[in-house]
């Protein structure tokens, strides 16, 4: 008996979902007009957008590391972010070179990017420059996160590299083109790091670097932040009270982006906030795109789309519409029951003093 030898490699694009949806509604796929194609694609978008109301899709949990800015207490969730699942205040160590090491740059004052002073800059005078640190002979360091506070606003395509001799460099992380804003942090967590003596950031997109701080960090310590409700936050007597550590936040689910209001207002520019959040599934896009769903959800999405299309296509029998509705609900329930975390659950009752 011959098998394909592959798993999960069959490509189902948007057009395929719409074609199957038409046939399930009793129509030939080639009968669909351009208007009906657009309507079906929009129905698919509505369907995917509504899934967030029915539970957490575990493949749509993302992490963002915010660089804290002094006196700034409102931080926006990325577009499409739905809810904060966990927020953690984070501090990191910043290793310094030993007596045989130091800081270098292709141009500009390299030390300005490592002086813990966000008012100074390492501004270069040529494109595709680099800024590097040598931790010194015999001193290899593991870096878990890299932060950049830009000295100019623009889009940059940098790569972070490591070396054992300062001559031959190996790519550690290439984030691609990223928008930087003057005076704001961008943090890159390195999921698979190495121990190296030399680290550097190099621009590859034809831009000139201007950097206020380049932070190679390790030994991160994270502390859970408490969530306030709207009443608790609005009743705070001094919302502008400052401290090194913001340990509470209120989550404002507004549009176009939800926001986190930190309290106390942070004052230390060298700390971070790690946020794990649920988000919407990626947009449907063009007819040739794939959907951002795992294989286990494909049948459910197909069944639900067929019902949505049957509601809008002309001449579909009501009995077929009702049948497709039931089929879609059954398929959704099967997929949603499997969308679960099988890790152990621990209950920790908090019994405190109370009065009647």
pLDDT class for 353, splitting at 50, 70, 90? Answer: low
Q: What is the predicted pLDDT for the residue at 341?
A: 80
pLDDT of residue 352: 58
Residue 97's pLDDT band (cuts 50, 70, 90): very high
Task: Say what the pLDDT of residue 349 is.
Answer: 76
Using CB atoms within 10 A of its CB, is residue 331 exposed (0-12), middle (13-18) or buried (19+)?
buried
Q: How far is CA 258 from CA 74, 277, 341, in A?
A: 10, 11, 25
pLDDT at 345: 79
Q: What average pLDDT does this structure show over 315-327?
A: 96
For 99-151, write each residue's pLDDT tens digit: 999 999 999 999 999 999 999 999 999 999 999 999 999 999 999 999 999 99
Residues in the chain: 356
The Cβ of residue 191 has, within 10 Å, a number of other Cβ atoms equal to 7
Which pLDDT score, from 0 to 100, does residue 19 have? 96
User: Residue 158 CB: number of other CB atoms within 10 A?
Assistant: 28
Euclidean distance between CA atoms 207 and 333, whole angstroms: 51
Residue 281: its pLDDT value, please? Answer: 96
Q: How far, in Å, CA of 252 to CA of 52, rounded?
A: 17
The residue among 289, 255, 286, 293 whose CA lies nearest residue 60 is: 293
pLDDT at 291 over 90: yes
pLDDT at 132: 98
What is the C-alpha separation between 247 and 225, in angstroms, rounded?
Answer: 5
pLDDT digit string, tens, across residues 158-214 = 999 999 999 999 999 999 999 999 999 999 999 888 999 999 999 999 999 999 999
Binned at pLDDT 50, 70 and 90, residue 348 comes out as confident
> What is the per-residue pLDDT for 339?
87
pTM, 2 dp: 0.89
pLDDT of residue 244: 84
Residue 354 confidence (pLDDT) above 70:
no
- pLDDT tens, residue by residue, 17-62: 999 999 999 999 999 999 999 999 999 999 999 999 988 899 999 9
pLDDT at 284: 96
* Residues 207-239: tens digit of each pLDDT: 999 999 999 999 999 999 999 999 999 999 999
Cβ 148 vs Cβ 186: under 8 Å: yes
Mean pLDDT of 76-90: 96
């Amino acid at each position: 008996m011959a098998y394909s030898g592959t798993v999960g490699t069959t490509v189902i694009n948007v057009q395929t979902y719409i074609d199957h949806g038409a046939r399930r509604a009793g129509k030939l796929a080639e009968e669909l007009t351009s208007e009906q194609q657009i309507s079906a694609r929009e129905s698919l978008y509505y369907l995917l957008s509504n899934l967030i109301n029915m539970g957490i899709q575990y493949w749509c949990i993302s992490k963002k590391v915010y660089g804290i800015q002094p006196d700034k207490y409102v931080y926006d969730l990325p577009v499409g972010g739905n809810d904060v699942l966990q927020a953690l205040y984070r501090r990191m160590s910043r290793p310094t070179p030993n007596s045989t090491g130091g800081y270098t740059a292709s141009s500009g004052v390299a030390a300005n990017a490592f002086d813990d002073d966000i008012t100074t800059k390492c501004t270069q005078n040529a494109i595709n420059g680099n800024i590097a640190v040598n931790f010194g002979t015999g001193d290899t360091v593991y870096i878990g996160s890299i932060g950049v506070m830009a000295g100019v606003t623009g889009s940059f395509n940098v790569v972070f590299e490591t070396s054992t001799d300062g001559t031959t460099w190996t790519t550690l992380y290439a984030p691609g083109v990223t928008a930087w804003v003057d005076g704001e942090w961008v943090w890159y967590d390195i999921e698979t790091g190495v121990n190296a003596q030399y680290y550097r950031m190099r621009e590859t997109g034809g831009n000139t670097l201007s950097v206020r701080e380049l932070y190679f960090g390790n030994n991160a310590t994270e502390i859970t932040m408490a969530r306030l409700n709207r009443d608790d936050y609005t009743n705070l007597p001094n919302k502008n009270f400052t401290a090194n550590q913001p340990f509470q936040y209120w989550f404002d689910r507004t549009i176009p982006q939800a926001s986190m209001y930190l309290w106390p207002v942070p004052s230390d520019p060298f700390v971070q906030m790690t946020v794990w959040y649920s988000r919407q599934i990626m947009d449907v896009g063009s007819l040739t795109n794939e959907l951002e769903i795992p294989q286990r959800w494909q049948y459910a999405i197909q069944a639900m789309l067929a019902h949505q299309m049957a509601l809008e296509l002309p001449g579909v029998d009501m009995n077929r519409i009702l049948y497709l509705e039931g089929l879609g609900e059954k398929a959704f329930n099967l997929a949603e029951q499997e969308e679960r975390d099988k890790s152990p659950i621990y209950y920790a009752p908090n019994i405190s003093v109370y009065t009647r």
